[in-house]
Chain A
Amino acid sequence: MENSNKRYWKGIEELTNDPSFVKNIHNEFGNMPSENDSKGDSLVDGTGTHRRDFLKVLGFGVAAVSLAACEAPVKNTIPYLNKPEDVEPTIANWYASTFTDGGEYASVLVKTREGRPIKIEGNKLSPVSKGALSARAQASVLSLYDNEKLKGPQAGGKATDWVQLDKEFVAKLSAIAAKGGQIRIVSNTILSPTTKKVIAEFTAKYPTTQHVVYDANSAYGLSVAHGGIIPSIDFSKAKTIVSLGADFLGTWVAPTEFAGQWAETRRVGSGKDGKKEMSRHYQFETILSNTGANADYRSAYKPSQEGLVAVALYNAVAKLTGAATVAGTSVKIDHLEAAAKDLVKSKGASIVVSGSNDPQVQKIVAATNALVGAYGATINTGVAVNYRQGNDMAMSNFINEVSAGKVSAVIFYNANPVYNHPMGAKLGAALAKVELTLSTNDRADETGSLCQYNAPDSHYLESWNDAEPKTGFYSLVQPTISTIFKTRQAQDSFLTWAGNTTDYATYLERNWESTILKSGSLAWKTALHDGVFGGNATVSSASPAVNTAEAAAAISKAYSNGSDLELAVYEKVGLGTGSQANNPWLQEFPEPVSKACWDNYASISQPTATKLNLKQGDVVKVSANGTEVSLPVLVQPGQANDTVAISIGYGRAKAGKSANGVGVNAYPFITEVNGACVGACTKGVSVTSTGEEKAIAQTQTHNTVMARQAVVQETVLGEFVKNPMSGRFVPEVLTSEGKKKATDLSLWNGHDYNNHAWGMVIDLNTCTGCSACVVSCNAENNIAVVGRQEVINRREMHWMRIDRYYSSDAEVEDLKGLEVASDNPEVVFQPMLCQHCNNAPCETVCPVLATTHSSEGLNQMTYNRCIGTRYCANNCPYKVRRFNWFRYFQTDEYDFNFNNDLGRMVINPDVTVRSRGVMEKCSMCVQRIQEGKLAAKKEKRRPIDGEIEIACAQSCPTNAITFGDMNDPKSAISVLLAEEREGRAYGVIEEINVKPNISYLMKVRNKEAKKHSEA
């Protein structure tokens, strides 16, 4: 793509003009063979049909039609026997609840239809999550309908019933306790105070019990540095943000919460009184993380340098503030001095975060934060966050104890350490030595299958529970469906085993009334309705006492400027730690930066690839730390040279059809450094080519911008302050009357919008690319999962994609500069969906009028009219139309959620499930618009702005998407557009004048203005 002053590219393929990329540029639809072709019979999928096949189908079709004409099948309609008063079929009920998965937290609203949850949305009443949801929280509703969960309790791999299980288990447990045998409960972080109380009851009954907590992606180091707590962090108060490898917008501790705060500091306005200030964000890291992609300045370091960078930053800050420096090996890294200067300059509004799990590194970072006045301002030690309570030392102790045969009974409470702990294999082998093992995991996973008893816990949407994400901030979990299988809440199990006959729902209510609410039952009802309770933050400016010299000494022992190949282990934004790996929505989630799905891969930088003589797709053997895995190479611009990075969360063996065998397990690569699990191997890493090749399912280069101009537009803050239109590309055309704006000339008469004019504004400055909207859209609009091969065939169905462009500030003509820049590119994320053009190119080419324009500005797609010519997709300049090449439901080739009755329970009944041969695309959630309008009509009023929310805008953690009625002058979108129309707002490829109803707000980077700027 060209622009007035920048060059952008979607991937390395485009920058280097890779032959396969060039071949596909002008080939709209992937004509690669489908996975069905190899099976010989092509009648079903419609490719390469023979004459005889055609006649057979024709004959069958005629017969079917005539049969259908004779008699319609009798359909039954089955009402309730005793209809609950508050359930009205076809009308959705909403319940407030809480999503927790280990330490992940979000207060949610659950939409249920006819008694089944179908959509999760953010609860705006929550002072903690503020209505933001991650992709995993969005996808959790599909995990409820996972057909491969355990259907009931099991003993020795055989089905049993709860009474029998309780009897046997309690007898054995009591016998062990009587002999003084050691009992352990192993869990991930537990956010629920009442659950902890239940475990305490259990422990009281069996006094030899100890509760071991660990986290798959641990933040133990951070907690050690702060004396056992993780302080709450508020990025919204920061003017300078420095992150040392903390992917706080993607995966670190509480990314959705942080993203909201971060976005507050990045929102600017073009108007006279608009905000012209932004935080400046420096990122130093190994991989190109989602956070790094959003940073103003970014440089890469190798994992072995992490500690050195932390010390160097401390020293630079100390020098400027006059504090004592510490001894440390020097490290060469760009922007570090500038970062230190900015940190000191904005003292009291600065913050340094580190993603390292090494307690010593975290101590140095804490000391740096103390120097720049972060405590009491951006960091509050008065309110602890509970998201990560894992203790790495305790967990390794436990595994060693088990191998030594010192433990008699283990209960794995929703924990799968055999898979997701670096010493998992050791634990797995040693479990046979334990006399009594039980797992409450929802499936017979890597750990559960090794246990004698399986007492499957219910899904959070089937359970009662509570959560305390931060000290004093509470929220409730309530069931929204009765248990699908014969599962039982783990809390009920613990209570039963502890001899307490109260059911957990009553237990919870009593506990809340006595310890949390401390008032009558009305408060309980209010709390249950709101889903959240409490939240008075006390601010403490206390900073942890750090012996910096000691920490620096420990660091200099463990870190050095090595030249060997190193390995970094990281977490992906979509799949996370792999707890929901069997969720096809998450498997098909294109990772924000790499745009890859259905796999993990060894990502390496281009120079390293050249050095090792590797190219994208080569399968390599990576070995380190006594572990060896084979996986394909992905060339990742921006990654530190001489490093290879592999994500956790993949390589499940016993999670289910969608997860098993996808990718490789990278947990064993995690090493112990200074007593904590650190995701890196700095020594003895080898990468060797196996000679095989494996394509990676990447969505990035599936659609090209065909050398069109100004798809993304950006500027730097310095220029923006002077001129809000700087960096804007305003296309002009030469006419007989002189130059005119391209948007002023049109062949068309335009549309009159008397009623509504729906539109959307997307702020590129606050969009972090996290892609939660993609999953939200999938859930709302029944979008089919197509699987790995079909994504490779460029046939993914997502209505919403987040385009990721790389660019550099090197001049367009400076080829050498561009080459260097591709090693550390700037990144822009651009959500791309149907632009609902007013002069829509798709509408004019449809031969059957299946796509038309509505009187409210929507570009409508009528599936039942579509005959599948695909002309519309050919003519769409934004490449947002998706074609149903196959029937993706009830088809064994696409064995995902649409292929079983349980999985189909998640279908939104208000949206048609599309069949083979029709085109589909974003409808701007027309079902929600219609519903909102109807609600207003019933109350004889106009819709109120904000009342109608579409799925993507609702889920956005940073509120980057504003949706509304542009005809209503008071609506948020009208106000925003009024301010930005002569500023940042632009339509993508304005020069072709399709007049989209979706506007984008130009990205502004808080960088120093360039000397040779053209703007």
Chain B
Amino acid sequence: MFNRKITLVTFLFSLALLFSSNVVFAQDAAEGETLFKNNCAACHNTSDEVLVGPGLKGISERRPIDWIIKWVHNPQAVIGSGDKYANDLYTKFNKAAMTPYPNFSDDQIKGIVAYIDAANAAPAAPAAGAAPAEGAAAAPAQSSGGMMEGLLVGLLLIMVLVLVALLSIVNTLSKLASGEAQDETPLAKRIQDNIKAMAANSAIKTGVIVLILLFGGKATIDAAYGVGIHQGYAPEQPIKFSHKLHAGQYQINCNYCHTGVYSGKGANVPSANICMNCHNAIKRESPEIQKIYRAIEKDEPIQWVRVHNLPDLAYFNHSQHTNVGGLECKNCHGDIDKMEVVEQRSSLTMGWCIDCHRETDVNSKGNAYYDKLVELHNKDSKTPLKVQNIGGLECSKCHY
């Protein structure tokens, strides 16, 4: 309790004088935040808004912490003990029991409560936005290709215009030189004549052919490079699941459904039982959710359409990037939380990977694995340690 009071104070005065306990709090609440987002956020809001379960704003004032701990560890036991508050709650929420979390330590639960309080005390909690700086690096790299193309096209246009202007000057001058009087023929006729003259000119003919070949060649090469790149691919899914709603509006942590994203090579498409954690109570009548029920009844798995297809020869591990590298999902997947239908935002080409490995700083802070590497790097270099400095461009980091 002592800790918590202090933390409230620190939050109100926003920063860091009492740093010893502040650090303790920051850890508690930070851990609490992770735990909350991974475990609680699917059903509870930090505000007073009701999701599946009640909003948790002011929970620390409503209930004593001991009760909360008991409840989190085993809600059924608290209900069974005849606790009035618990039984009222149980009845109010249609007798849908909360999932017990017996593995949470007391401190972890206190951390979660601390996070809830903090989130309400400082509504613009830093956790919500602020992608790490390194994440932004990929975007400009992405657009640079398009810019180059624009420049080229512009240059070509200017050159064509200059050519036309020069030709018309030459034409006029030659006419003047041959002493012809000012032409009285109508404009249309004149243009026609000019075009005819131009068509007869072999230099122009060659020029046009060369230009066509150049443009055609470039288009072909571009198209060939584009084979197998499906940027913007947004196939229709068997169930109209909206990331905008779940990840955007309800702020459910990605890891809640994509269970492997911090631990495994694949992020994993969630199994139907994860949907059922909430949807056995919420929106049961929706025809889209009915599809999940049907799949479970028939024992037929849902055949989602794969959006991001890496070739088999490339090894990509999510946990290396999310857990170790500390990257946000949107770094590669774009604004998933605004997508009604998921689409492939990044090109997923090797060049795209390599660009990021060239520019991204290694997330080495507090990771003893990198300590010696950082030290050795700093001896010879003033720039921060990039992924490419520790072998991030080597073949067998991704191909084996």
B149 within 8 A of A: no
Query: A76 near B304 (CB under 8 angstroms)?
Result: yes
A88 within 8 A of B: yes
Question: Measured between alpha carbons, how far is A65 from B301 in the docked complex, in Å?
Answer: 33
Cβ contacts A to B, 25 pairs, < 8 Å: A65-B227, A68-B227, A75-B306, A76-B303, A76-B304, A77-B304, A78-B301, A78-B303, A79-B271, A81-B300, A83-B271, A88-B260, A754-B373, A852-B394, A855-B390, A861-B395, A934-B317, A934-B319, A936-B369, A937-B320, A937-B367, A938-B319, A940-B368, A940-B369, A941-B369
Q: Which of B263, B301, B311, B368 contacts A941 (CB 8 A)?
A: B368
Question: Taking the nearest CB of chain B, how far is it from the CB of A809, in angstroms?
Answer: 43
Q: List the A residue with the shortest CB-CB distance to B268.
A: A89
A74 within 8 A of B: yes
A858 within 8 A of B: yes
Query: A69 near B301 (CB under 8 angstroms)?
Result: no
Question: Taking the nearest CB of chain A, how far is it from the CB of B176, in angstroms?
Answer: 53
Q: Which of A68, A755, A854, A934 contacts B324 (CB 8 A)?
A: A934
Query: B319: which A residues are within 8 A, CB to CB?
Result: 934, 938
Beyond A74-B235, A754-B372, A926-B400, is A937–B227 a contact (Cβ under 8 Å)? no
Query: B266: which A residues are within 8 A, CB to CB?
Result: 89-90
Query: B399 near A72 (CB under 8 angstroms)?
Result: no
Q: Which of B269, B296, B311, B320 contacts A79 (CB 8 A)?
A: B269
Q: Binary interface profile of A, 31-69, with partner B (CB < 8 Å = 1, else 0)?
A: 000000000000000000000000000000000010011
Which stretch in A258-266, A497-505, A645-653, A862-870 binds the other chain?
A862-870
Question: Taking the nearest CB of chain B, how far is it from the CB of A850, in angstroms?
Answer: 8
Question: Taking the nearest CB of chain A, how far is it from the CB of B162, in angstroms?
Answer: 36
A748 within 8 A of B: no
Q: List the B residue with the shortest CB-CB distance to A853.
A: B394
A910 within 8 A of B: yes
Q: Which of A858, A913, A938 contacts B323 (CB 8 A)?
A: A938
Question: Measured between alpha carbons, how far is A78 from B400 in the docked complex, in Å?
Answer: 25
Question: Measured between alpha carbons, how far is A940 from B311 in the docked complex, in Å?
Answer: 30
Q: Which residues of A from 117 to 149 have beta carbons under 8 Å from B?
A: none
Q: Which residues of B from 373 to 400 have beta carbons under 8 Å from A?
A: 373, 376-377, 390-391, 394-397, 399-400
Q: List the B residue with the shortest CB-CB distance to A865.
A: B395
Query: A76: which B residues are within 8 A, CB to CB?
Result: 303-306
Q: List the A residue with the shortest CB-CB distance to B267.
A: A90
Question: Taking the nearest CB of chain A, how far is it from the CB of B309, in angstroms?
Answer: 6
Query: B264: which A residues are within 8 A, CB to CB?
Result: 88-91
Question: Taking the nearest CB of chain B, how far is it from the CB of A510, in angstroms?
Answer: 29
Beyond A854-B396, A862-B396, is A91–B296 a contact (Cβ under 8 Å)? no
Q: Binary interface profile of A, 73-112, with partner B (CB < 8 Å = 1, else 0)?
A: 0111111111100001111000000000000000000000
Q: Which residues of A from 627 to 653 have beta carbons under 8 Å from B?
A: none
Q: Which of A65, A91, A912, A938 contacts B313 (CB 8 A)?
A: A912
A942 within 8 A of B: yes
B207 within 8 A of A: no
Query: A911: which B residues are within 8 A, CB to CB?
Result: 400
Query: A77 near B260 (CB under 8 angstroms)?
Result: no
Q: Which of B296, B313, B373 contacts A863 (CB 8 A)?
A: B313
Q: Which of B227, B273, B299, B315 contacts A83 (CB 8 A)?
A: B273
A389 within 8 A of B: no
Query: In the complex, how many residues of chain A place their beta carbon closer than 8 angstroms to a beta carbon of chain B?
Result: 48
B223 within 8 A of A: yes
Interface centre among B260, B274, B376, B391, by most A CB within 10 Å?
B391
Q: Which of A81, A754, A923 contacts B301 (CB 8 A)?
A: A81
Q: Binary interface profile of A, 844-881, with partner B (CB < 8 Å = 1, else 0)?
A: 00000010101110101111110000000000000000
Q: Which of A81, A856, A910 contacts B273 (CB 8 A)?
A: A81
Query: B400 near A923 (CB under 8 angstroms)?
Result: yes
B366 within 8 A of A: yes
Q: Which of B228, B268, B271, B300 contacts A90 (CB 8 A)?
A: B268
Q: Binary interface profile of B, 254-290, with partner A (CB < 8 Å = 1, else 0)?
A: 0000011001111011111110000000000000000
A397 within 8 A of B: no
Question: Measured between alpha carbons, how far is A82 from B399 in the docked complex, in Å?
Answer: 32
Query: B376 near A754 (CB under 8 angstroms)?
Result: yes
A930 within 8 A of B: yes
Query: In the complex, how many residues of chain B place their beta carbon closer than 8 angstroms to a beta carbon of chain A?
Result: 57
Query: B397: which A residues are within 8 A, CB to CB?
Result: 930
Question: Measured between alpha carbons, how far is A88 from B313 in the docked complex, in Å?
Answer: 22
Beyond A90-B264, A91-B264, A863-B313, is A82–B324 a contact (Cβ under 8 Å)? no
Q: Which residues of A from 908 to 924 have beta carbons under 8 Å from B?
A: 910-913, 923
B98 within 8 A of A: no
Measured CB to CB, the residues of B under 8 A from A are 223-224, 226-228, 230, 233, 235, 259-260, 263-266, 268-274, 295-296, 299-306, 309, 311-313, 315, 317, 319-320, 323-324, 366-369, 372-373, 376-377, 390-391, 394-397, 399-400
Query: A90 near B302 (CB under 8 angstroms)?
Result: no
Question: Measured between alpha carbons, how far is A88 from B372 in the docked complex, in Å?
Answer: 33
Question: Taking the nearest CB of chain A, how far is it from the CB of B274, in angstroms?
Answer: 7
Question: Taking the nearest CB of chain B, how far is it from the CB of A771, in angstroms?
Answer: 24
Query: B391: which A residues are within 8 A, CB to CB?
Result: 755, 854-856
Question: Measured between alpha carbons, how far is A90 from B310 in the docked complex, in Å?
Answer: 15
Q: Binary interface profile of A, 924-951, with partner B (CB < 8 Å = 1, else 0)?
A: 0011001001101110111000000000
Q: Which of A68, A78, A88, A910 contacts B315 (CB 8 A)?
A: A910
Question: Measured between alpha carbons, how far is A934 from B373 in the docked complex, in Å?
Answer: 15
Beyond A74-B305, A88-B260, is A860–B313 a contact (Cβ under 8 Å)? no
Q: List the B residue with the shortest CB-CB distance to A849.
A: B395
Interface centre among A76, A861, A913, A927, by most B CB within 10 Å?
A76
Interface centre among B299, B315, B395, by most A CB within 10 Å?
B395
Question: Measured between alpha carbons, how far is A754 from B391 in the docked complex, in Å?
Answer: 10
Query: B323: which A residues are within 8 A, CB to CB?
Result: 938
Give the top 10 A-B pairs by smallest Cβ distance, nearest first: A83-B271, A860-B396, A90-B265, A80-B271, A855-B391, A90-B266, A862-B395, A75-B306, A90-B264, A79-B269
Query: B400: which A residues are within 8 A, CB to CB?
Result: 860, 910-912, 923, 926-927, 930
Q: Which of A80, A863, A934 contacts B320 (CB 8 A)?
A: A934
Q: List the B residue with the shortest CB-CB distance to A82.
A: B273
Q: List the B residue with the shortest CB-CB distance to A65.
A: B227
Question: Taking the nearest CB of chain B, how far is it from the CB of A862, in angstroms?
Answer: 4
Question: Measured between alpha carbons, how far is A708 from B271 in the docked complex, in Å?
Answer: 60
Q: Which of A79, A860, A864, A930 contacts B268 (CB 8 A)?
A: A79
Question: Taking the nearest CB of chain B, how far is it from the CB of A949, in angstroms?
Answer: 17
Query: A937 near B396 (CB under 8 angstroms)?
Result: no
Question: Measured between alpha carbons, how far is A940 from B370 in the docked complex, in Å?
Answer: 8
Query: B268 near A88 (CB under 8 angstroms)?
Result: yes
Question: Measured between alpha carbons, how far is A79 from B273 in the docked complex, in Å?
Answer: 10
Question: Taking the nearest CB of chain B, how far is it from the CB of A556, in angstroms?
Answer: 63
Beyond A89-B260, A863-B313, A937-B320, is A79–B228 a contact (Cβ under 8 Å)? no
Query: B304: which A residues are within 8 A, CB to CB?
Result: 76-79
Question: Measured between alpha carbons, how far is A80 from B303 in the docked complex, in Å?
Answer: 10
Query: A938 near B302 (CB under 8 angstroms)?
Result: no
Query: B305: which A residues are within 8 A, CB to CB?
Result: 74-77
Query: B302: which A residues are within 8 A, CB to CB?
Result: 78-79, 81
Query: A862: which B residues are within 8 A, CB to CB?
Result: 395-396, 399
Q: List the A residue with the shortest CB-CB distance to B233.
A: A72
Query: A942 near B369 (CB under 8 angstroms)?
Result: yes
Question: Taking the nearest CB of chain A, how far is it from the CB of B198, in angstroms?
Answer: 35
Question: Measured between alpha carbons, how far is A770 from B259 in the docked complex, in Å?
Answer: 43
Question: Measured between alpha carbons, how far is A934 from B325 in the docked complex, in Å?
Answer: 11
Question: Measured between alpha carbons, how far is A936 from B320 in the docked complex, in Å?
Answer: 11
Question: Measured between alpha carbons, how far is A816 from B89 in the docked complex, in Å?
Answer: 99
Question: Taking the nearest CB of chain B, how far is it from the CB of A412, in angstroms?
Answer: 38
Question: Measured between alpha carbons, how far is A862 from B396 in the docked complex, in Å?
Answer: 7
Query: A913: which B residues are within 8 A, CB to CB?
Result: 312
Query: B311: which A residues are within 8 A, CB to CB?
Result: 864
Question: Measured between alpha carbons, how far is A513 from B265 in the docked complex, in Å?
Answer: 39
Question: Measured between alpha carbons, how far is A850 from B396 in the docked complex, in Å?
Answer: 10
Question: Measured between alpha carbons, how far is A78 from B263 in the docked complex, in Å?
Answer: 20
